[in-house]
Chains A and B, each alone.
Chain A
Amino acid sequence: MPREEKLQKRSLFVFVLLAVLLTLSVFLYIYSRTYAKAHRLNLEMDRAAFDSIMARTVPALIGMAVAAVLTAVVSLSFQTVTGSRILTPSMFGFDSVYVGTQTILVFMFGSVSRAFVDPYINYVITAGTIIAVSMMMYGFILRKNKNNLVFLLMFGLILSGIVRSGSAYLQVIMDAGDYNRVKAATSVTVNNMNTRIIFMALPLMLAVIVAMLIRHKTYDVMALGENSAKSLGIHYEKEIRLNLFLISLGMSVTTALIGSLTFLGLLAVNIARELFRTHRHIYLFIGSAGLSALALIAGQALSELLQGAVPVTVIIDLVGCSYMFYLILKEGRVK
């Protein structure tokens, strides 16, 4: 089996390369936050200062890495389940549902209520809403219009439009203090991570990642399409439901922790596909996870080094958007 060996050799090479680049970018990120910054501000970098910066940098690094990996893994499984290369779960509008939930929480209970202030209660409510909304979307639409994912996505688009304008309306009529707190809670980005929930978020995220990784063989079969997968003994409806649950769970944690990483998953997954040129999900999972973490951490390090006020997600979204245009045009030409 020469082809199999070639694939293994190539992926080993890519994995090692990714690991080296990732390590480098981690060091670069730490350097950019400590010595580079100290140098710029003409400060001495002593042990105590270094430690205190590291105490903030390490959770940020872990948060970024796990969120990036989760985004990639979730995007790949979502693409397999929907049988499309240009969809990502972000298009369901999870982020607008997140903003909507926060706004309604403040509007109904006030910005000092426990439901809003307690990070855990807040998260449970938010995640519950996101999961309920996406399962409801599934129940309403997928069950009646068998596997009409285009319809589902359109519904997601419209829903997020309604939720967004609804929350904008509520934000306008609430008082200024409440408004500021909602804004602060919903403007989590890579630079401004919601580290208060990190100890709950990390295990959940890791659980979703592991749950998806161990099912890589099932995804291989599901990529064949519904009919073949069913004939090969895949419980198709159950798999779709389970995946939708895992995806909404994962997306809700990432959105609450680090904000929306809309195009990161799309970018990482498609580059991994180009690199490995295989249908085997285990390679694609690991490859896209590595690429995704690399893009986020290296990009963040660079943006710190260049003192850019622009968070890296903006750049990733820009690149990802252009890439998506390219993909749509390419797929359109093939058909």
Chain B
Amino acid sequence: MIEEKNICQAYIKHRKKKTLENINLSVKKKAITALIGSNGAGKSTLLGVMSNMIPPLSGEVLIDGVNIRTLKPCELAKKIAILKQTHHISIRITVKDLVEFGRFPHSRGRLSDFDRKKVKESIAYMNLTEMEDRYLDELSGGQRQRAFIAMVLAQDTPYIFLDEPLNNLDVKYSVEMMRIIKKLVSELGKTVVVVLHDINFASAYADYIVAMKNGRIIGEGRPEQVITKEVLDEVFDHDFNIVSYQVRNACLYFDRVS
């Protein structure tokens, strides 16, 4: 069973425009929660607030009952790992170097045997063992993305936040990435919050979907509750066509042939 815990409650107020407005959200444990919404809806901001990267102007974010503002950054890094959409790295490092960085919150840079074991496991889990000594800039986009997920895995946090992990990935790698994320939940018991652009990927892989528009939550719930014409039309200002495929809903957003 999924335990419900109110870990998120954020409220950001700007003088002119609110990026987030009265957001009340509790993230279900050991499940994938997908954030969907049009560009500028505040998905990434919400993820940033939830991970204490961006301080909320008012309101608070609770993790396991504790306000995250009161946690030290290094303590928080043992609970939440976040991968932002742009993780361009200017230094030249190998996959293994990168994954070893994931142990930093635990080891402060001095790797113990346990840390090395964790690094090895994470690399193996992401099928990167053969290329652990390759440099990141020699890898394909999908492999590099996997290397970053391996770093997040090595960080060994119960909560993993991913900001558009499917960016720049083609269909094959996107599916592979979503399967991996699914496995993180089912095999390792992680709680994953993921920002997705592709509604159908959210529908097919997420356990819960949160649909946002203009800094507000328009709809939330199980995929079949959110991937409906009423909700999506409002969220995206678009005339959707919902079809049912197996047990999932999928949406078509093209113009009809007249």
Give the interface of A toward B (CB within 8 A).
Answer: 3, 83, 217-218, 220-221, 223-225, 227-228, 230-235, 277, 279
A224 touches B89 (CB 8 A): yes
Task: Check B93 for interface membership: any CB of A closer than 8 A.
Answer: yes
Given contacts A220-B109, A279-B97, contact A233 B77 (CB under 8 A): yes
B76 touches A233 (CB 8 A): yes
Closest chain B CB from A171 CB (angstroms): 42
A233 touches B94 (CB 8 A): no
A225 touches B90 (CB 8 A): yes
- A and B contact pairs by CB, cutoff 8 A, 13 listed: A221-B109, A223-B91, A225-B87, A230-B53, A232-B77, A232-B101, A233-B75, A233-B76, A233-B78, A234-B73, A235-B72, A235-B73, A277-B92
Our pick among B73, B75, B90, B102 for the contact of A83 (Cβ within 8 Å) is: B90
Residue of B nearest to A282 (CB): B109
- B114-150 to A contact mask, C-beta < 8 Å, 1/0: 0000000000000000000100000000000000000
Our pick among B77, B93, B155 for the contact of A279 (Cβ within 8 Å) is: B93
Contacts of A83 in B (CB 8 A): 90
What 7 A-B pairs have minimum CB-CB distances, sorted nearest first? A233-B77, A217-B109, A233-B74, A227-B84, A233-B105, A235-B73, A231-B82
How many residue-residue contacts, CB under 8 A, span A and B?
66
Interface centre among A83, A220, A233 (most CB of B within 10 A): A233
| Distance, CA A220 to CA B102, complexed state (A) | 12
Task: Check B108 for interface membership: any CB of A closer than 8 A.
Answer: yes
Contacts of A235 in B (CB 8 A): 72-73
B73 touches A230 (CB 8 A): yes
| Distance, CA A231 to CA B156, complexed state (A) | 12
Interface centre among A3, A223, A234, A279 (most CB of B within 10 A): A279
- B residues 34-60 near A (Cβ < 8 Å) are 51, 53
A233 touches B97 (CB 8 A): no
Closest chain A CB from B73 CB (angstroms): 5
Interface centre among A83, A218, A228, A230 (most CB of B within 10 A): A228
Given contacts A3-B94, A279-B93, contact A227 B105 (CB under 8 A): no
Residue of A nearest to B116 (CB): A1
B105 touches A224 (CB 8 A): no
Task: Check B204 for interface membership: any CB of A closer than 8 A.
Answer: no
Contacts of B51 in A (CB 8 A): 231
Residue of A nearest to B76 (CB): A233
Task: Check B88 for interface membership: any CB of A closer than 8 A.
Answer: yes
Task: Check B104 for interface membership: any CB of A closer than 8 A.
Answer: yes
Our pick among B73, B77, B89 for the contact of A225 (Cβ within 8 Å) is: B89
A231 touches B133 (CB 8 A): no
Contacts of A234 in B (CB 8 A): 73
Contacts of B87 in A (CB 8 A): 225, 227-228
B92 touches A231 (CB 8 A): no
Residue of A nearest to B157 (CB): A231
| Distance, CA A119 to CA B75, complexed state (A) | 45
Contacts of A218 in B (CB 8 A): 109
